[in-house]
């Protein structure tokens, strides 16, 4: 999606907004600045570009949602912060510009979403912001201009079949489903009221079995479901090749001892489908799909030596749910499409040497043996 | 008859209230000078070089 020109991003074109409750108090009520000034510079003094960054503005009317939203992963970006924190050197966890707090805020946290990033603006990231509909507050924003912008690299491109060699998810291909059909705003998007470690920590996460009740053990006519039961995450059989990040390096530019820009150096991603051993205690599975996270032992080495002394405590091949679900996949065509097929499993040789220790719990040492059976899905 | 008059009165009251509230909204929008520029695309375009840019964030490789 082409970014808007800077002047287009601040063009309030919506008459609906001008006559709405959200404009009843005037611009400066939310944005500050000097509403009486006629000089542009003076008018913008003290301006708040995104009033929802202090969410109490929204809370004046939407207190319940805002209070829950404060705990949501969209707001806290905890899914990025937690693994970083666990890997980080405990001596460098302060808020200084070259410590965990400052680095997280300057890099990862720039991807968090506030109320307006979905309901008023295009997200700041790749779309570079700008109003969605001339400043009208959209209760249900267009997914391609909101969810799809931030989550395009993995979930979005997977779901809509934008990755080479991977078809679109069957839920959109055959049923025309959209993000909100599974990711209900009351369950996940606005938070639960309890801080979460990451998205899999959410007890209200979408669950395939909510709709596909017939796959439950004892309630299935599919032999493979009865055999594997809860030992396999659904995606092990029903997802296909997906995007993996190779690494991520946090870099910065400094002038006169002050950091003037923070940026990333990232090698190109790669496509892979890997099954690893489940390392999460909150999941019953034995095998799960894993994908490589955007991290590396020297992630923050530009900021100094020994920044990630705990690197080996968290796997870099992480539990994943690729959003490209298919009924039939290369690995579920027959028993031995998967059993004995070493290429599907995460093995030592798939892992760069300096990440072997971090992934020791995920590596599949012993590939499930061939069965010799021809049975498979028709 | 009495009932019809009552309905008519309610309708008139509603219309007056609607008019007053939209007037109030317009008044609010015009209460500050922000709208003079931010609702005028041509004016914003002419001011474009002077528009403040968000702090630069460089990135290399693939996001």
Query: In B, which residues are within 8 Å of A129 by CB distance?
Result: 54
**Using beta carbons and an 8 Å cutoff, which residues of B are at the interface with A?**
22, 24-26, 28-29, 31-35, 37-39, 41, 44-45, 47-48, 50-63
As a whole-number percent, the residues of chain B with pLDDT over 90 amount to: 21
Higher pLDDT, B10 or A228: A228
User: How confident is the model at residue A128, as a pLDDT?
Assistant: 74
Mean pLDDT of all residues in B27-55:
76
Computed over its alpha carbons, how large is the radius of gyration of chain B?
24
User: How confident is the model at residue B60, as a pLDDT?
Assistant: 38
User: How confident is the model at residue A188, as a pLDDT?
Assistant: 75
Are residues B33 and A261, on separate chains, in Cβ contact within 8 Å? no
Are residues B34 and A7, on separate chains, in Cβ contact within 8 Å? no
How far, in Å, CA of A188 to CA of A72, rounded?
Answer: 7
Residuewise pLDDT in 10s, chain A (378 residues): 678 888 899 999 999 999 999 999 899 988 999 999 988 999 999 998 888 776 678 998 999 999 999 999 999 999 999 999 999 999 999 999 999 999 999 999 988 888 999 999 988 766 678 999 999 999 999 998 899 888 988 999 999 999 998 999 999 999 999 999 999 877 678 998 999 999 999 888 899 988 998 887 677 888 899 999 899 999 999 999 999 999 999 999 999 999 999 999 999 999 999 999 999 999 999 999 999 999 999 999 999 999 999 999 999 999 999 999 999 999 999 999 999 999 999 999 999 999 999 999 999 999 999 998 866 554
Nearest-Cα distance to chain B for A11, in Å, is 5
CB contact at 8 A, A85 and A112 = no
Higher pLDDT, B36 or A188: B36
User: How confident is the model at residue A57, as a pLDDT?
Assistant: 85
The phi, psi pair for A335, rounded to 5°, reads: -55, -45
3-state secondary structure of A213: helix
For residue B57, pLDDT beyond 80: no
- For strands A287-292 and A274-277, give the pairing: antiparallel
* Paired tokens of A335: 């028993």
User: How confident is the model at residue A255, as a pLDDT?
Assistant: 94
User: How confident is the model at residue B27, as a pLDDT?
Assistant: 52
Which residue among A7, A23, A269 places its CB closest to the CB of B44? A7
User: How confident is the model at residue A51, as a pLDDT?
Assistant: 86
Using the Cα atoms of residue A39, residue A43, residue A46 and residue A50 in order, give the sign of their dihedral. Answer: negative
User: How confident is the model at residue A335, as a pLDDT?
Assistant: 95
Beta bridge partners of A262: A252
Nearest-Cα distance to chain B for A112, in Å, is 15
Are residues B51 and A267, on separate chains, in Cβ contact within 8 Å? no
For residue B43, pLDDT beyond 70: yes
* Paired tokens of B15: 């219309």
CB contact at 8 A, A302 and A264 = no
Length of chain A: 378
Which residue among B28, B34, B53 places its CB closest to the CB of A24? B28
Which residue among A10, A20, A36 places its CB closest to the CB of B44? A10
Assign B33 a pLDDT band (cuts: 50, 70, 90): confident
């Amino acid at each position: 999606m082409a970014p808007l020109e800077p002047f287009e991003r601040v063009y309030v074109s919506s008459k609906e907004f001008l006559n709405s409750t959200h404009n009843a108090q005037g611009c400066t009520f939310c944005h500050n600045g000097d509403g009486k000034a006629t000089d542009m510079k003076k008018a913008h003094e003290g301006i708040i570009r995104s009033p929802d960054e202090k969410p109490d503005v929204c809370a004046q009317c939407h207190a319940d949602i805002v209070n829950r939203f404060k705990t949501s992963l969209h707001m806290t970006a905890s899914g990025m912060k937690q693994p970083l924190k666990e890997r980080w050197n405990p001596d460098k966890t302060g808020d200084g510009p070259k410590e965990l707090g400052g680095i997280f805020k300057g890099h990862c946290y720039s991807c968090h979403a506030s109320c307006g990033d979905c309901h008023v603006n295009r997200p700041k990231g790749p779309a570079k912001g700008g109003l969605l509909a001339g400043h009208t507050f959209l209760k249900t924003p267009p997914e391609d201009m909101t969810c799809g912008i931030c989550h395009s690299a993995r979930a979005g491109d997977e779901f809509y079949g934008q990755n080479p060699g991977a078809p679109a998810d069957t839920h959109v291909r055959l049923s025309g489903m959209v993000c909100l059909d599974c990711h209900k705003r009351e369950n996940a998007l606005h938070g639960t009221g309890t801080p979460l470690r990451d998205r899999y920590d959410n007890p209200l996460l979408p669950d395939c079995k909510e709709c596909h009740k017939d796959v439950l053990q004892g309630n299935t006519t599919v032999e493979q479901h009865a055999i594997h039961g809860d030992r396999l995450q659904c995606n092990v059989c029903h997802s296909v090749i997906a995007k993996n990040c190779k690494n991520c390096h946090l870099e910065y530019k400094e002038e006169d001892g002050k950091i003037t820009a923070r940026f990333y150096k990232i090698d190109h991603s790669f496509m892979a489908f890997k099954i690893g051993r489940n390392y999460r205690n909150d999941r019953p599975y034995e095998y799960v799909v894993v994908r490589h996270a955007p991290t590396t032992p020297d992630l923050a080495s530009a900021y100094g030596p020994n920044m990630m002394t705990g690197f080996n405590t968290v796997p870099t091949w992480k539990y994943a749910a690729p959003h490209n679900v298919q009924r039939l996949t290369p690995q579920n065509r027959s028993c031995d499409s998967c059993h004995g097929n070493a290429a599907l499993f995460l093995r030592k040789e798939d892992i760069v040497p300096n990440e072997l220790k971090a992934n020791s719990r995920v590596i599949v040492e012993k590939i499930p043996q061939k069965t010799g059976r021809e049975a498979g899905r028709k | 008859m009495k009932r019809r008059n009552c309905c008519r009165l309610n309708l008139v009251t509603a219309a007056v209230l609607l008019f007053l509230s939209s007037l109030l909204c317009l008044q609010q929008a015009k209460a500050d000078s922000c709208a003079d520029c931010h609702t005028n695309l041509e004016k914003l375009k002419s001011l474009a070089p002077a528009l403040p840019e968000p702090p630069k964030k460089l990135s290399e490789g693939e996001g």
